[in-house]
A and B are shown apart, each in its own frame.
Chain A
């Protein structure tokens, strides 16, 4: 972050001295007193009036004047680049908007018709842009992250031999790493499992009899030794295994109970959400509304978007908790922001017209901005938004249980766990279909070559020719010859999307001046006849402030 004095100095519009081109003539005129002041004022006055009128459209050295507002805003030039690894997909973002972890992210080709723009706001706005700066000292940053997460630092970060990681720590209770990534640093930490039970103690030594004493008196039995101290209780035995599934009462064999799938992200609530928000604040960031994903049956994954100027950004922190609430692993972005100028934004309604124009450009430039379509349900509106309930101090994460226990005192073996409850009776299996498999039909004859079909994709001026291949005939019914295969070549029709929402956020783009977080409208809608939802992003700055000239590698239509 630059100091005030540095920013003031940076505002200097003329860094170098200036000598008029006609300097020698000026000196001659001055010494001859060839000019009087009045003509100077006259020409100055005339030029000044004209220049002020033209100033609104002036672009000098990449600085464009904003008409009528008296402000000068830099033109933001995009740099052709690969994706922003700093916002690498986390577990939660991989699952975002997906009904199940295995659901497929489907890129959609660029052939859209959008409905619903008229229902969106027509009010223009404004928003600042930010320069994204990664912290300079990666080792110190990683140390700070570890401490913020409440983990005792028992080793210091050291340079990694892995070229994709800058610093790594392999502590006794955790491992952690960090790497610089396009304007931000990406950190991750994995904590070790809870400590093992202490070693059982030995029983106290039995007392030794005192040897007889030579005496005229009868020998006296030695005193009994004191009993050794009792060992402390051993660890609790493991819970008994679940009882076997009951046998079906009738019918066929009981079908196996399906494994519970992971749930989609929902609003994160409860102590784990509070804990996650506390971590984000301890890391110095502003948390957004957390979402929660259940991974299998034991882990809870909480994703917390990081806010920029009060709006969610494309950067986030993710925390995975064990079933007992201990932190298992975490990852996220660390960065600093330098606020730049505030730009006028077109309205969300007007931004719809920019989707098709920007989608291809932004995705090819920096990996963001294009449509992502997904099956499943929409992300549930998160509800955990009250940072006030979140502990502020770094000591807040102390509730994390991750310390390994030291060797404990002597202890007896724990009790064996009780047998688990008997499993519920399975549902009756459905009757299997009876019938033997029919004989296999002979292979059909090879189909005739299909006709060549030429179909011009919508919006592409030059028709694309597709050569149909020879299809093998499908297997015919038993004994009969297969029918001749048919050839059908189709291109996707325009995808109609009913837009439903538009929200303001921030996303990272690789600019000529470095990585920046730019305001973004995120549109979501329903694909008509598709049964799934799609989202689109647009940088809603007026076009005169955006320069895509370096976009030298656009992605062809339909190539993704």
Chain B
């Protein structure tokens, strides 16, 4: 019985991956369409200017990145700015379906293991990516960040792909060191923090591209037209900041909860174990990021780089430190 649950679980995870792949394609098509839409708009622009429609697409302070192009849509008569983009909506719908499949898969894994489904690398991966998707979908309800769809589905697909292939382990019971309520709290909050950092990192990345486009207009390098349909760099920076600070709060909690757990399990709350070191490094980098945003001359691109370095350290901590470094945080069978 338990074995079949476990098999259903992995089957659901695979199905979710397939759906995410389709979602990825939809999101990518939308981005491609945005590029060509801009071109079409520019063609239409000449007459449109007479009626004062702005087609520059610089969405500036508008709420949704999409509003800016609607003016042009009327003039060109073509279907639509991205807001009405069918591919975009299909992408989101597919993401929701994939998320639900994955959710059931993760829950089944937990039932099969008779404990929380985040106690080894494979399980961190499926739960962590589930949270990335969840956070993305929840944030979507408040902010139109659908343009991040390609990045998020892509990232989750890669992470799920690597972990199902390399880290899959059958359900095994918890070793005594992990058998603690703190596993539930500490690891879950760490994954939640990671999910926010992923989203924030993506925004900071786009912010950098956008900034480059804004400051070096005309330069060809990394000068994607579709950036014109996205929010401007200041707005991206503010969004990234807000999401990263939520991640930072979760990370701070993870650090404290980890120390409390270490005290219970190992008799000391801090011992500079490799994993502790990296959790600390990540925390300090993000503290630096927050500071940078409040420092003259560091607002904007420089602080965005720090957010990216921070997220790179998060991925490194998860993908490299867990697997290749020696330390007390050795996870049973990965």
Are A and B genuine complex partners?
no
Give chain A's interface residues, CB within 8 Å of chain B.
Answer: none
